[in-house]
Amino acid sequence: MPRAIISPSVLASDFGQLTAECKRMIKGGAEWLHMDVMDGHFVPNITMGAPILACVSKGVPGIFMDCHMMVAQPEKWVDDIADAGGSLYCFHLEAASDPLAIIDHIHERKMKAGVAISPDTPSTAITDEIGHAADMLLVMTVYPGRGGQKFLERCVPKVAELRARFPDKDIEVDGGVGPKTIDVCADAGTNVIVAGTAIFNAPEPEKVIQLLKSTVDAAQAKAAAK
């Protein structure tokens, strides 16, 4: 199974100090930064777009931006996000008319491709062909559109179903994940953890990052021993 990666969600950060907040997370042990791009169409909220990502990329050299595209026409923004320094472009299956073509475009622009599913979308909507073409699969454990929501445990079995089909794939969970909810996610087979308020609002973020990572490591060791 792929290794544990922690991707703090900047939606919970102080946007007025965005580059400083990203540096603070990297210093605390975060490997990726989860950038929530919302367009006001696919979700009822507007956050940031390519110009802000470009500023972050310039201000934090070498940053791995895990771009979660909560947008209505994901095929439209691939080039802009690539030009802005995006490392991974994760689009919603619900918004895509031709997922495989989008994945190909993302790869052409030298980014990793992610496919996300919202709480009401079954994991079986990710076909074997789509799953194998993508680099990462994201299971939303809240409804996309705003931070700070309550974790939906009913989404966790989707992680286990995807892990059974794609043993070597990065599988990410996003939404309401923190020290109290990490265990079920890790046991189901997720290896990429997105957490916003649980990390950014903690007095010592580095300890939360380490706890999330060690929980995934322990779950993987337990699974390997079976």
Residues 13 and 216: beta-carbon distance below 8 Å: no
Q: What's the rounded Cα separation, in Å, for the pair 192 and 171?
A: 6
Annotated active-site residue in 135, 174, 187, 217: 174
Q: What's the rounded Cα separation, in Å, for the pair 41 and 146?
A: 13
Annotated active-site residue in 36, 39, 66, 187: 36
Output the CA torsion 217→92→31→218 (10° steps).
Answer: -10
Residue (of 110, 180, 172) closest to 139 by Cα position? 172
Specify whether 135 is catalytic. Answer: no
Specify whether 83 is catalytic. Answer: no
Q: Which residue has the tokens 């777009």?
A: 49
Residues 209 and 28: beta-carbon distance below 8 Å: yes
Q: Which residue has the tokens 């169409």?
A: 41
Residue 32 carries which DSSP code? -
Taking CA 89 as the corner, what is the angle to CA 86 and CA 90, rounded to the nearest 5 degrees?
145
User: Taking the CA of residue 173 as centre, how many other CA atoms within 13 Å lie in the half-sphere pointing to its CB?
Assistant: 34
The catalytic residues are: 36, 174
